[in-house]
Structure 1
Amino acid sequence: MSMRQSPSARPAQGATSSDAVFGAPCWVSLTSRDLAATHRFYAAVLGWTFRATKLGGRFSVALDDGRPVAGIGELASAWQVPVAWTPYFAVEDADETAARIRERSGTVAVGPIAFDSGRAALAADRNGAVFGIWEGLLSESWPRWRDEQPVWLRLRTQDPFDAAIFYGGVLLWASDRPGACEVAYEGGEVVLRSAGRVVARLGPGAVPAAPDPVERPHWEVFFTVRDLPAALRAVRGNGGDVVARASAPTGESAVVRDPDGGLFTLTVPHS
């Protein structure tokens, strides 16, 4: 039986529920080993500030000029998972979505777990790329997060079409239900849109058995910066590594690693 939201978790006026935008990426989160050290690194590199959450002292929300951008949880050791950035996709029912993941040869590693405002699960697609699902209330700034795109996503995978079939079946992309994400093939990639906005891309080039995690299938999390060279100096000066310079559909970019090994990409969008 599905455990749906309690009445107290229903959207307040002006809030958005995951069932209204099902299938769209709605958040990114970092699993961390040391919350204070993680705060110091990302404050230096991206200028973020942080606020506590109702989930307790092991969780925080990262803010960019006061707008919520991402979540950070000191969970890597407790959940026995690597330090990693993970995208979460909005779903109507976490249990049903988890079942669809398993039916399509994906893996549900953690959850669904209940939180105050909803339920989450951590999963991997059949090529090993890790992602999360979220049923419940979205951040109050979710429409702004989607429209202004301080964060955007690209799946590095072996076969974008096969991946689109998997995620389309799991997250009900391209269905005839109002609010469903639209899928198109553009410029050699599968492009995902929500309310007309590009919210993710699925591209080729990953090698499942590659020893380097950068080359294996994964969801690449991009953060936009105004000055890429300055950001890369901050990465190196605060214990991180610059892994590779890369090309991205939005502009110049570089793949970097934080001191605990969390991979992400810094990008300067086209003007």
Structure 2
Amino acid sequence: MSAVSGAGEAERDKVNSQAVAGAPCWVTLLSRELPASQAFYGNVLGWSYRAAGLGDDFCVALSDGMAVAGIGALASSLQVAVSWTPYFAVADVDEAAARIRERGATVAVGPLAFHTGRAALAMDPDGAAFGIWEGAVRSDWTVGRGSAPAWLELRTRDTVDAARFYGQVLGWAPETEGGFTLVHEEDHAVLRQEEQVVARIRKGAVQAAPDPRSRPRWHVYFRVGEVSRSVEAAVKDGGAVVSSDAQEATLRDPDGALFTVTSR
């Protein structure tokens, strides 16, 4: 369920989460069946896999040999929806969990101890799932660079409320020297690490929407060389196309997890 499926699977190239507090540090797919998920994303995104050192239900997805994401077949045992979930580094997972609860949100699972740190799975006040991680994180994994996702996006009910919540929980500030800067731009907010955009917060989601695509949630964008090839592979392997154009397509895997491929 946590960043341990990538952030804790090896000891090399690691830093402590305290040094990068507030940073997106990993993304994990909570799936129902690991082999089926591996086959689907291998065909759609060209991923290969290696063991995460956490048992048969975990693996690390690789692109050209570099770690991209973790997959854990835990959705059924945790009784949560199949989904892509971002994890954010925190200096102290207990303090972060307390801040989450104090601000009207929910800590759904944990904090749990793993061999290189501790994690918790939470839901923000509008119901969007995210994780927090205290411990070893990959120093070579940064959203927007290398093998990591292109960017993350929170689709939420109210941009200002969401920005305030995550800013208070994760330490994002309107202006900082280095670190993370959260800037409001017209109808959305942008989180930057120095000059690199790592996340966006957009309004318009509806908590009571019958379609889960319209509810508040975190969304992960993966870079691909050719969007049309990924779309074709997703449909062939039992997925579905939610929306698409020449440079971007939002897809649903066979278990219902949403993600976007982009060539931007």
Fold-level similarity (TM above 0.5): yes
Instruction: Confirm or deny: 8 A CA contact 2:51 2:59 kept in the other structure.
Output: yes
Matched residue, 1:197: 196
CA displacement at 1:204 relative to structure 2: 1.4
- Distance in 2, Cα, partners of 1:106 & 1:171: 14
Report the AA paired with residue 51 of structure 1.
R
SS in 1 for 2:75: coil
The aligned counterpart of 2:136 is 137
Runs of 5+ consecutive residues of structure 1 not aligned to the other structure: 1-8
Pair 1:252-2:247 in alignment: yes
The equivalent residue for 2:45 is: 46
In structure 2, the residue matched to 1:26 is 25
**Normalising by the residue count of structure 1, what TM-score does the alignment of the two structures yield?**
0.88
Pair 1:262-2:260 in alignment: no
Could you say which residue in structure 2 is the equivalent of 1:6?
A: none
> Where in structure 2 are the equivalents of 1:228-243 lying within 5 Å?
228-243=227-242
Matches within 5 A, 1:4-15: 14-15=13-14
Q: How far off its partner does 1:146 sit?
A: 4.9
Displacement of 1:14:
5.0
Q: Aligned pair 1:96/2:95, yes or no?
A: yes
Equivalent residues in 2 for 1:119-198 (5 A)? 119-143=118-142, 146-148=144-146, 150-151=148-149, 152-174=151-173, 180-198=179-197
Cα distance between partner residues in 2 of 1:123 and 1:112: 10
Q: Which amino acid aligns with 1:21?
A: V
Q: Decide whether aligned partners of structure 1 residues 56 and 175 sit closer, same or farther in structure 2, where only a CA change above 3 A counts.
A: farther
Asked if 1 retains the 8 angstrom alpha-carbon contact of 2:66 and 2:147, the reply is no
- Name the amino acid aligned to 2:78: W
Q: Contact (CA 8 Å) 1:35, 1:73: kept in 2 or not?
A: yes
Total equivalences in the alignment: 255
SS in 1 for 2:14: coil
1:57 to partner: Cα distance: 1.3
Distance 1:202 1:183 in 2: 10
How many Å apart are 1:34 and its aligned residue? Answer: 0.9
Residue of structure 2 equivalent to 1:111: 110
Shift of 1:45: 0.2
- Using the aligned pairs only, state the percent identity: 53
**Structure 1: how far apart are the matches of 2:227 and 2:257?**
18
Query: Which letter does structure 2 place at the counterpart of 1:147?
Result: R
Runs of 4+ in 1 over 3 A off after TM superposition: 11-14, 175-180
Is contact 2:15-2:137 (8 Å) kept?
yes
Partner of 1:224: 223
Amino acid aligned to 1:227: E
How far off is 1:148 after superposition?
Answer: 3.2
Q: Deviations over 1:18-45 (max 9, x none)?
A: 1111111111000111111110000000
**Residues 172 and 180 in structure 1, CA contact (< 8 A), matched pair in contact too:** no
Deviation at 1:149, TM superposition (A): 6.4
Q: Distance in 2 between matches of 1:185 and 1:154?
A: 14
CA contact (8 A) 1:207 1:216 kept: yes
Bigger drift between 171-180 and 119-128 goes to 171-180
Question: What is the distance in 1 between the residues matched to 2:13 and 2:211?
Answer: 44
| Aligned residues of 2:118 and 2:133 also touching (Cα < 8 A) | yes
> What RMSD over aligned residues (CA atoms) do the two structures have, in Å?
2.1
Q: CA deviation at 1:87?
A: 0.4
